[in-house]
Amino acid sequence: MKTSLKKILLAGSVILALFLAVHFSSLNCLFSAQPNTQETVAAEAAAVYYDASVFPLPITHYTQRHPAAANSYLIWHRIPNAVYYEIELLSGPPEEEHTIYLSQTQHLFSTKSVYTNGWQADFTPYLNEPVLYWRVRALDYFDHPIGAFSKAERLYIDPEAAEPEKPLLNIYDRPKIPTQPLYPVYDWIPMHDPEVQYEVELLSAPPEEENNTKPSIHRIWHSEITDMASYYDDMPRNIPGKYWWRVRAVDPEGKTIGVYSDAQEMIVPQSEPLLLAAAFGDSITHGGGALSYSPADQEYSYETYLEFPAVNLGRSGDTATMSADRFEQDVVPFHPLNLLILCGSNDLRDGSISAADTIAALKRIQEACERNHIHPIFLTLMPIHPENIYQAFHTETDESWREKLNVINAYIRTQPDYIDLEPYFYNSSGLLATKYATDGLHGDIRGKKLMAYIINEHQDLLIHP
């Protein structure tokens, strides 16, 4: 299908990526399995992301009129593809603003243990400082700065002010009433105490009392206790309506520490009578990327960039067999006209799963589509990067992943309708390019945009009412 000149100009960077990828794909049969060194991977990543003009913009401002408490949250707008952030506290303005270096003369404290766009700071050691400033910068997985430090901002602190006693929901830079995937993910900014654990509560109505200490009478589900600041719902939320969720910090006995967070509304939309498309598969479909972003961050979902609506029926952690097993439960109720199918990426990593196992699962999905009069459109699996996967998750990858990829994709290319993603994602070593996926598996924003671009170019495969 043809693309307008306007669209080409708007997608210039993606077109360039496509050109390079096609060039590499023509040589794909010559690629060896020689791994990149960590230095090579790091250099590739650094060349992709660094931009000296990029720096976080603070959301929280603590002024003389509205000072911080001794423990308060510092929040800023997210930087795309940042894996973590570095916070610096200073005793005065830095020598130069918007640099990538810690201050030589005003530095008091810094930490890189900040994995989202917020941090509950403990200012107690610095209450006697005459002046206090803070700033933050974004870093990639390899500790390279993505951009410069934010402009240092003065902190006014009132030691007598009431300290926050609840987790803060991380809904910044997101739609106020987000439409979640079928399997929602709940994110929050953790409290200062690293020993604190958390529990998510899902409600059918607003809590009878905000910021209380006991579960609501409207509770319909609650998570397991976790020490993470994110929770992946294990139940498909397919009953249309409004829901509310909140999170509490708990002690080892399960008692609430402080109070519940504010409650956030969540909408499960009514399924359309004639739903054009749905996306089905594992975490690559579910969303998330750059290690620190979950499917709740919709800019890391390829469905966001499609030129047609598609319901997200992905589930993180699925093998192809697991996806096939949940087809009747998760796909049939929506009955989409078209189903975009991307299953088997986790199979490549698992030495106990053969290409034949994956293909058998894909056949089951195809047959289920035929039984239910759903038009299947298969997507070929993209390459992976075992070294990056190991660095990110400390898990080994099946040494025969490349052979399995070739066999599975050869099968997919025999289907009546498929979209070939594979050739566009290689680096010069025949692995998934770090610029598309920091962790060697899940596409970052650039990777998800490229996926959507390729799919958009094949919209003629969609059937319409």
Query: Domains of the chain, with CATH numbers?
Result: 5-30+271-461 (3.40.50.1110), 71-154 (2.60.40), 168-268 (2.60.40.10)
Q: Are the beta carbons of 38 and 92 closer than 8 angstroms?
A: no
Distance CA 286, CA 302 (A): 9
What local confidence, expressed as pLDDT, does residue 253 receive? 87
Residue-wise pLDDT tens for the chain (465 aa)? Answer: 333 333 333 333 333 333 333 333 333 332 333 344 455 555 555 545 668 889 999 999 999 999 999 999 999 999 988 999 999 999 999 999 999 999 999 999 999 999 999 999 999 999 999 999 999 999 998 899 999 999 999 999 999 999 999 999 998 887 655 567 999 999 999 998 888 999 999 999 999 999 999 999 999 999 999 999 999 999 999 999 999 999 999 998 889 999 999 999 998 988 778 899 999 999 999 999 999 999 999 999 999 999 999 999 999 999 999 999 999 999 999 999 999 999 999 999 999 999 999 999 999 999 999 999 999 999 999 999 999 999 999 999 999 999 999 999 999 999 999 999 999 999 999 999 999 999 999 999 999 999 999 999 999 999 999
What local confidence, expressed as pLDDT, does residue 150 receive? 97
Distance CA 49, CA 171 (A): 24
What local confidence, expressed as pLDDT, does residue 42 receive? 52
Distance CA 290, CA 220 (A): 32
Give the dihedral sign, CA 90/95/98/100: negative
What local confidence, expressed as pLDDT, does residue 274 receive? 87
Distance CA 386, CA 439 (A): 9
3-state secondary structure of 188: strand
Nearest to residue 316, comparing CAs of 197, 198, 442, 436? 442
Q: What is the dihedral of CA 160, 166, 167, 171, to 10 degrees?
A: -90
Give the dihedral sign, CA 369/375/380/385: negative
Distance CA 447, CA 441 (A): 10
Distance CA 395, CA 387 (A): 10
Strand partners, 101: none
The pTM score is 0.86
